[in-house]
Amino acid sequence: MAKISLGSEPVVGSLTPSKKREYRVTNRLQEGKRPIYAVVFNFIDSRYFNVFATAGGNRVTVYQCLEGGVIAVLQSYIDEDKDESFYTVSWACNIDGTPFLVAGGLNGVIRVIDAGSEKIYKSFVGHGDSINEIKTQPLKPSLVVSASKDESVRLWNVHTGICILIFAGAGGHRNEVLSVDFHPSDMHRIASCGMDNTVKIWSMKEFWTYVEKSFTWTDLPSKFPTKYVQFPTFIASVHTNYVDCNRWIGDFLLSKSVDNEIVLWEPKMKEQSPGEGSVDILQKYPVPECDIWFIKFSCDFHYKAAAIGNREGKIYVWEIQSSPPVLISRLSHVQSKSAIRQTAMSFDGSTILCCCEDGTIWRWDVVASS
Amino acid sequence: MSASKVSPSASGSDPPTTGHQESLLSAEEILAVIDSFKKQVALDRCVSIKKHMEENTQKVADVTKSLLKLSMERSNLKIIGADKSVDLLAKRQKDAIDMHNGIGTSNGDNDSSSSQEDGYGSSAILLGSSIAVKNAVRPITLPEVKKLPPYTTWIFLDRNQRMTEDQSVVGRRRIYYDQTGGEALICSDSEEEANDDEEEKKEFAEFEDYILRMTIKEVGLSDAALDLLAECLSRKSGEIKARYEDLVKSQNATFDVNNGNIDNFVNPYIDKDLDAALDSFDNLFCRRCLVFDCRLHGCSQDLIFHAEKQLPWSCPDVEKKPCGPNCYRQVIYEEKAAPASNNAAAMQIQKRKQGGLSVRNKSKSCPSESASSNAKDISESSDSEIKLINDVASSPKCTSTGKYGGNKRNSKRIAEHVLVAIRKKQKKIAASDSESVASGSLGSKDLNLQATQRENNGISSSQKLKSSSARKSSRKESLAPDSDKSLQGEAPSGASNEIESKQPVISSDDTLKKEEFIDESTYKQEITDDKCWKAFEKALYEKGLLIFGRNSCLIARNLMNGLKTCSEVFKYMHHSENKQFFRAGDGATFADAYLKADGSEIVGNAARRRSRFLRRKGRVRRLKYTWKSAGYHSIRKRISERKDQPCRQYNPCGCQSACGKECPCLVNGTCCEKYCGCPKSCKNRFRGCHCAKSQCRSRQCPCFAADRECDPDVCRNCWISCGDGTLGVPSQRGDNYECRNMKLLLKQQQRVLLGRSDVSGWGAFLKNNVGKHEYLGEYTGELISHREADKRGKIYDRENSSFLFNLNDQFVLDAYRKGDKLKFANHSPDPNCYAKVIMVAGDHRVGIFAKERICAGEELFYDYRYEPDRAPAWAKKPETSGAKREDGAPSTGRAKKHT
């Protein structure tokens, strides 16, 4: 990371909780002994805003948050291969609106599950190694991207089962890709980050015809002319170690490495020369004891707050859009000692879920302030 | 730091004056000033971030609003279309809610039975509620899908690529994550290497400028202030000072701009000279592959100029017709009409002249006759119609005549001549005569005529004309002293000219034409024209001369399209030659001047080295190899067991004569190739082969024996026929004689399939049957240095998966991220293929060949020939383990994800 000099210092948030909101544990469940790596609410379909899915071991489970801290198990899927270990899951949907679960993990096979009929819809074989994250395009939820250990990011159409684009090659990642995210409003843009310590922003503008073609493709998916996107439009060296999570906040990016902090920065691209540009680091959100990799944070629907767990089972909830950043709350529980791999914030941020290394899922609900 | 006001600080209360007072300020005071500005900057930064954040927040709010709308629409859509099938997720959701709301107390049987009726298994279970858990959700099994053998995403390459700088791992810290051990290993180079790239000069940031400017404004320019500033900004004070001066300068500059109106819009590209314009050509065009941005040989190659120059382009000069509306010939043609209409007499002249010309053309054999008649014609016309003052009419001494006549190889030394009058029209008519004769011999009378007419329009002072033409003629014909040219004097020159004219030398024809037009009026005109010629256009023109010779039509059409018209080029051509004549001095002969002109052009070009305008993008720097810290040698595939590397990388030499001892090729131990600058006769050149019957398939072929492919440019009998032969193929000597040693060059490879290996991981398979020694395909990859290979190899070896292949003394092929399917061919001590490094058109390439007959569908193996002491267990010589290879050994997972 370039040394930050005077005049471009970021605003660092204070770790003193503002007590704006308080949360308390309302439920805790044990899903098994294997670590749970992912938990995610369904933001695709407003009917399912209170439905969430977890991925861990060879299992993907669907739950529902009910009032009073109650969690209902709705569905559970188990991969026949006991060695499979799901690392990520994402909600998507078919073009007719059927809710899909897209999960991937160690085996490198992407499982598309039709949650409406509780059947496997498709399995995408193609990645050369394990899959670290899957994300859904919010504007076109039948498009998903996957980040893989094989150093590539791939764009899939879950409806037709087509691998549309592969983001790899000459300008691609030089090590495992750990995280990927769609730009919320610009459909052509994605950001990916990984073990090569970089964040790369890719544009598929020139390839958009292929994306459109994928919706009307009737031939075998394997016959589709999959294209390589070899050059990102922007490469940022914001961190000096693995970058394991990045999210778009409008046109800014929130990313984290193993340095006990989340960084909010703005990519300043040069129109003329793709690939070059500078980074303006705007704000930093300290997260103590967060120095191991594969810890991911999440935001509520409106990107008002972000929640992240740490190595010791504590959760930090930051108000991300205020300047300077405000720590909304620090959540801790005596029994929560295991590393938190991922959190999920509900639509309005009133519920926070976290999944842990020891296979537990915790539910925190906001305490109504007097 | 926009619009920030200077806060009056403690020391700021001193009004910024220009006297000595500032230097009296103590260091503390200056520091206080600097500090206050620093605070100001920091504050501004916070404010700007806040503003920035607020803008973004607004954007995010808009986005999420629309997203919410979308998700609402989706749920509505579903409700409408829900009737066709049951949405189990929604159903379960409803069940759970119902259960939770207490309907569940009695739900027990009803609910479960109903769901069983549906055949969709049990309903939801609640966790953490007071209601007892009934029954667990039955898990749905996802049938197993066979996973792929692990691989890293790679790009297909059909030819090798040189590594680009940004791909280098040298000097970078890399972290290797060991999945089995769950630990991360840092593979970084020694410290001193890692620091290499940190030294880049830091630009002055906006805020630094601000502090600098404001502080000095506040406390005045003094060494103390500069020193303190330097300290605060952690820079050298010299740097600070220089920057301050820059700032002041640029401030003034902007001030000037604001005052004066600078509104010239200039085409940036017109401004540059040709060197700049051609910069990308020189730096990005590969002269070996004839493509721009060659990935194999890189950009910014040394420019090699061949010792043997190519002759200027010459096409049979059928081009007597105007090349376009702006052709100099066309101009002549058009202008012909003008005088005619102005002056009725002109018509007559024309007619008469035509008559005269035809006569002349017919009567070539008796030149004197025609000449005289011609002269008469002219004098007649000029006298009668256009009242001219005839100074020297019909005198052979007439300078202009002499000039034209002589040059034109007008066999009849034209005795005619012309009146040097105030109006040159007459004179030009005379000139036209001579010209018409000259070109008449080439068969287009009309054009000549036009030319003549046009010349009539030229206007210049008679005096000038005389003198200049006199000089010119003297230069052109050293034989004939201009002042008193005698008939005898001219006769020989005429004769010699005639001889010349019989040779169908087009370029001379061009010259000839040029000369015709040399005349004061045009010359003058050109002086003004000349000013309109941009430096870059001039340079372009010079290039044109080299390529096309003196053919303004071709130059204008091919090089100056849209910039200059043919006639402009033509005029310029004259003008520039004139200048050269003048420079050459009176004594110089025309031929000399000519030569000189040519020579200087050539020299000028050759002298042009690679220009300094290097494009940053894609620039490849030659790497220097230091072997220090190269203690580690990674495992690489090789073709021979020997330790030494017999192949040496070829780099073309730029020798301009036969290569001597100092020729880089000789020094390096490689042969000279067709890409070298040296002449073909160079002793160090590889001569190719003369094989015919043997088809270059055995070691009897010198190319084959030297591990080279035949080259149609070099070998005598190795050629490539293309198409069905209708386009004129070199005389066939029967198919059996076709060279079989050009397979890599022609990419005549076998179809290779990628599949799950019978041995381990991926494997390469053959689609069709092939015979022994058949070429199967190329092992392509990134060309990296040995040093780079060692660095990369560290991690590859740890992963037990290496795609490194030793190519020659300079390069190693790495097929890890870029390559061909053949990179997946496995190792075997008893293989059915073998690899061979072959020199193809100056480059080393790896070909994979069949060692025996291979049937369709068989897996391909070859011996990696790892160095025995470094080979991994599966490749050790004693046949303990069979053919095993890069087994990624997918492990139990990432139970421990740690840094």
Structure tokens at B621: 């720097």
Q: How far is A116 from chain B (nearest CA, A)?
A: 5
Residue B511 has pLDDT above 80, yes or no: no
> Nearest to residue B104, comparing CAs of B140, B77, B138, B133?
B133
Contacts of B120 in chain A (CB under 8 A): 118
B377 φ, ψ (degrees, to nearest 5): -45, -55
Highest averaged pLDDT of the listed ranges A103-107, B190-194, B349-353? A103-107
Tell how far CA B561 is from the center of its chain.
Answer: 21
Q: What are phi and psi of B45, to 5 degrees?
A: -60, -45
Res. A85: pLDDT tops 80 = yes
**Euclidean distance between CA atoms B481 and B489, whole angstroms:** 8
State chain B's mean pLDDT as an integer.
Answer: 65
* Contact between B838 and B845 (Cβ < 8 Å): yes
Whether the predicted pLDDT of B729 surpasses 60: no
Q: CA B470 from chain center: how many Å? A: 49
Cα B730 to chain centroid, rounded: 33
Q: Does A41 touch chain B (CB under 8 A)?
A: no
pTM above 0.80, yes or no: no
Cβ of B897 within 8 Å of Cβ of A138? The answer is: no
Note whether A80 contacts B90, CB cutoff 8 Å. Answer: no
Ranges A351-355, B121-125, B540-544, B881-885, most confident: A351-355
Q: Is the pLDDT of residue B358 over 70?
A: no
Q: Which amino acid is at A96?
A: D
Chain B residue numbers with beta carbons less than 8 Å from the beta carbon of A24 are none
Crossing angle of helices B223-232 and B27-80, in 10° steps, is 40
CA of B799: how far to CAs of B285, B793, B886, in Å? 39, 9, 8
What average pLDDT does the segment A214-223 reach?
92
Amino acid occupying residue B223: D
Structure tokens at B144: 């197993």
Grade residue A334 by pLDDT with cuts at 50, 70 and 90.
very high
Give which of A195, A198, A295 is closest to A238, Cα–Cα: A198
H/E run at residue B91: helix B88-100
Map tokens 């749970």 to a residue: A36
pLDDT(A299) > 90? yes
Residue pair B529/B572 in contact by the 8 Å Cβ criterion: yes
% of chain B beyond a pLDDT of 70: 48
Residue A67: both structure tokens together: 């009032």
Lowest-pLDDT choice from A11-20, B480-489, B837-846, B884-893: B884-893
Residue A353 and residue A62 in contact, taking contact as beta carbons nearer than 8 Å:
no
Quickly state the pLDDT bin for B422 (edges 50, 70, 90). Answer: very low
- pLDDT for B317 equals 52
pLDDT at B346 exceeding the cut of 50: no
Task: Indicate the Cα dihedral angle B474, B416, B452, B382, nearest 10°.
Answer: 130
Q: Which of A168, A17, A28 is CA-nearest to residue B152? A: A168
Other C-beta atoms within 10 Å of B17: how many?
A: 9
Q: How far apart are CA A327 and CA A320, in angstroms?
A: 9
State how far the Cα of A9 lies from the Cα of B46, in Å rounded to an integer.
9
Which residues 6+ apart lie within 8 Å of B250 measured at CB?
none
Query: Which range has highest mean pLDDT (A271-280, B200-209, B386-395, B752-761)?
Result: B752-761
pLDDT of residue B737: 63
pLDDT at B671: 87
Cα atoms found within 13 Å of the Cα of residue B449, Cβ hemisphere only: 20
Q: Which of A249-263, B88-102, B421-435 has the highest average model confidence (pLDDT)?
A: A249-263
Whether the pLDDT of residue B335 is over 60: the answer is no
Nearest to A9 among B45, B52, B127 (CB): B45
Cis? peptide before B16, omega within 30° of 0 = no
Q: Which residues of B touch A170 (CB under 8 A)?
A: 155, 164, 818
Per-residue confidence (pLDDT) for residue A346, from 0 to 100: 94
φ, ψ dihedrals at A67, nearest 5°: -65, 155
Residues in chain B: 899
pLDDT tens, position by position, B823-846: 999 888 889 999 989 999 889 999
Helix (H) or strand (E) holding B367: helix B367-384
Q: Judge: B895–A47 Cβ closer than 8 Å, yes or no.
A: no
What digits encode the pLDDT tens for the residues B378-406?
444 444 444 434 443 344 443 333 344 33
Spell out the residues 6+ positions from residue A329 whose beta carbon is closer than 8 angstroms to its own.
A17, A18, A19, A20, A21, A22, A23, A316, A317
The band of B599, judged by pLDDT with boundaries at 50, 70 and 90, is very low
Helices then strands (H, E): number in chain B? 28, 19
Judge whether A145 and A126 are in contact, CB under 8 Å.
Answer: no
Please give, one letter per residue, the 3-state secondary structure of B832-850: CEEEEEEEECCEEEEEEEE
Name the most confidently modeled range: A63-77, B165-179, B499-513, B692-706. A63-77
Higher pLDDT, B214 or A12: A12
Q: Does A351 touch chain B (CB under 8 A)?
A: no
Q: Which residues of B touch A83 (CB under 8 A)?
A: 892-893
Contact present, B455 and B568 (Cβ < 8 Å): no
Select the residue of B143, B145, B152 nearest A128 (Cβ to Cβ). Answer: B152
* Cβ pair B898:A81 closer than 8 A: no
User: Does A250 contact B56 at a Cβ distance shorter than 8 Å?
Assistant: yes
Highest mean pLDDT among A95-109, B553-567, B698-712, B718-732: A95-109
Per-residue pLDDT reduced to its tens digit, A141-189: 999 999 999 999 999 999 999 999 999 988 899 889 999 999 999 999 9
* Neighbour-count burial for B22-41, b at 16+ CB within 10 Å, e otherwise: beebeeebbbbbbebbbebb
Closest CA to B405 of B415, B394, B391: B415
Mean pLDDT of B270-285: 71
User: Å from B874 to nearest chain A CA?
Assistant: 23
DSSP 8-state assignment for residue A15 = S
Q: What is the mean pLDDT of residues B367-376?
A: 44
DSSP sequence for B227-276:
HHHHHHTTS-HHHHHHHHHHHHHHHHHHHHHHHS-------HHHHS-HHH
Bridge partners, residue B753, by sequence: B765
Helix (H, G, I), strand (E, B) or coil at B277: helix
pLDDT band at B581 (very low <50, low <70, confident <90, very high): low
pLDDT value for B623:
27
Average pLDDT, chain A: 91
- For residue A67, what is the DSSP state? G
Matching residue, tokens 């040709």: B274
Task: Judge whether A98 is closer than 8 Å to chain B, CB to CB.
Answer: yes
DSSP state, residue B471: H
Mean pLDDT throughout B357-366?
Answer: 41
Q: How does DSSP classify residue B570?
A: H
Q: Say yes or no to pLDDT of B480 above 60.
A: no
Predicted local distance difference test score (pLDDT) of residue B277? 67
pLDDT over threshold 90, residue B730: no
**What amino acid occupies position A19?**
K
B38 pLDDT more than 80: yes
The SS3 call for residue B724 is: coil
pLDDT at A143: 95
Residue B870 predicted with pLDDT over 80? no
Q: Do A6 and B99 touch (CB under 8 A)?
A: no
Of A47, A85, A250, the CB nearest to B90: A47
Residue B263, number of CB atoms within 10 A of its CB: 5
Q: Which ipTM score applies to this complex? A: 0.91
Q: What pLDDT score was predicted for residue B333?
A: 60
CA distance A217 to chain B (A): 23
Q: According to the per-residue pLDDT averaged within each range, which of B106-120, B147-161, B581-595 is highest?
A: B147-161
